[in-house]
Amino acid sequence: QSPQDGRDLDGLLRKADMAMYEAKRLHCGVYVYADPLERRHERIGRIERALAEARERGELRLVYQPQVDAVRGEVVGAEVLLRWDSETLGSVPPDEFIPVAESMGLMPELGGFVIEQALAESRIFIDRHRCGEPFRLALNASVSQLFDAGFVLKLLDAHRRWRAGDRELVVEITESLFIEDIDQARDLLTGLREDGLVISLDDFGTGYSSLSLLSKLPIGELKIDRSFVQDILDDERDHQLIRSIIGLGASLGIPVLAEGVESAEQARILEAAGCARFQGYFIARPMAAAELADFLARWATLRPAPFRGAS
């Protein structure tokens, strides 16, 4: 509005564009410009400029969050997570820089970096894994990455190298993949599954997946969103919802992993409900590859109380 938002036409049009793009981002019909919106767009601009050079500057790094078998109490894998320590912006959280990377078209490039770096760093910790079953390395993949032929080829090549050591490569996807193009998504996931990759449906319960959809797709794991796990002790609805998800997985032969497990009591409830695997701060925070090597070597003494009796 003039005059409070500016008096010249160019300035008013620029701010109107900000409001329009924010409305699109939030999927709403109307958004009113305000000063915080301009500050947000200035922040995005700084992130865009810094992110374009982040890889060349060596500012990107990987961390790994262990995943534990709920029954046997053994570490069976780890999720690979990307972190960015910017020279100019400091530590930028993923939920802030990933959407910017998507809008810049950088996700396939970042995904390729994650794949190659994870396989290279796995040499640091993989020999410390001695639980008797394949170690699962879980990589997150966005819609733009999976619909990029170059990224998929890198993923398949990585899997062929990784499985040579009797290991599993897991691809974590979200339900937004199905919204884009269900037929193309089905063909893509089927091809990945036929090549031997495990498809994990991340943040399950927060989107639009249905029983009929799951029965038609080659999903090898359901990952319960942390928002349901965090209130499982106090909210009976979340407790029942988790039991329903685990029951749904059992009926389809799909194991369930719960993320965001932060206490022994949460772990006990989830294990009693039939949850196959856990991930969360109760097990360990995300850590560098060298720390994961030490963690795996010392797991027998580190394991929390609910797992100490497991063999």
HEC letters along the chain:
CCCCCCCCHHHHHHHHHHHHHHHHHCCCCCCCCCHHHHHHHHHHHHHHHHHCCCCCCCCEEEEEEEEEECCCCCEEEEEEEEEEEECCCEEECHHHHHHHHHHHCCHHHHHHHHHHHHHHHHHHHHHHCCCCCCCEEEEECCHHHHCCHHHHHHHHHHHHHHHCCCCEEEEEECCHHHHHCHHHHHHHHHHHHHCCCEEEEEEECCCCCCHHHHHHCCCCEEEECHHHHCCCCCCHHHHHHHHHHHHHHHHHCCCEEEECCCCHHHHHHHHHHCCCEEECCCCCCCECHHHHHHHHHCHHHHCCHHHCCCC
Mean pLDDT of 230-235: 88
108 within domain boundaries: yes
Residue 4 falls within a domain, yes or no? no
Pick the residue with more confidence: 118 or 301? 118
Residues 185 and 40 placed together within one structural domain of the fold: no
Output the average pLDDT for the chain: 85
Q: What is the mean pLDDT of residues 159-168?
A: 80
Residue 184 lies in a domain: yes
pLDDT in tens, 186-195: 899 999 999 9
User: Does 110 lie in the same domain as 16?
Assistant: no
| Residues 29 and 68 placed together within one structural domain of the fold | no
Question: Residue 161: its pLDDT value, please?
Answer: 86
User: What is the band of 175 on the pLDDT scale with cuts at 50, 70, 90?
Assistant: confident
The answer to whether residues 119 and 32 belong to one domain is no
Average pLDDT estimate for 200-227: 82
Task: Indicate whether 253 belongs to any domain.
Answer: yes
- Domain extent, residue 31, equals 9-48
Lowest model confidence (mean pLDDT) among 205-209, 247-251, 292-296 = 205-209
Note the pLDDT tens digit of each residue in 57-68: 999 999 999 999
User: Do 103 and 43 reside in the same domain of the chain?
Assistant: no
Tell me the mean pLDDT in the region 220-233. Answer: 92
Are residue 40 and residue 86 in the same domain, yes or no? no
- At residue 221, the pLDDT reads 96
What is the percent of the chain with per-residue pLDDT over 70, rounded to a whole number? 82
| Residue 53 scores a pLDDT above 50 | yes
Q: Is the pLDDT of residue 128 over 90?
A: no
Q: Are residues 235 and 300 in the same domain?
A: yes
Average pLDDT over residues 281-308: 89
What pLDDT shows up at residue 2? 44
Total structural domains in the chain?
2
Confidence of residue 32 (pLDDT cuts 50, 70, 90): very low
Residues 26 and 126 in one domain: no
Examine the domain organization and report whether 147 and 256 are in the same domain.
yes
Higher pLDDT, 34 or 231: 231
The confidence band for 297, taking pLDDT boundaries of 50, 70 and 90, is: very high
pLDDT confidence of residue 5: 46
Q: pLDDT, tens digit, for every residue of 233-256?
A: 988 888 898 999 999 999 989 999
198 and 145 assigned to the same domain: yes
In a domain, 262, yes or no: yes
Same domain, 30 and 80: no
**What per-residue confidence (pLDDT) applies to 37?**
61
Query: Domain containing 102 — which CATH number?
Result: 3.20.20.450
Do residues 14 and 78 share a domain? no
2 lies in some domain: no
Instruction: Judge whether 1 lies within some domain.
Output: no
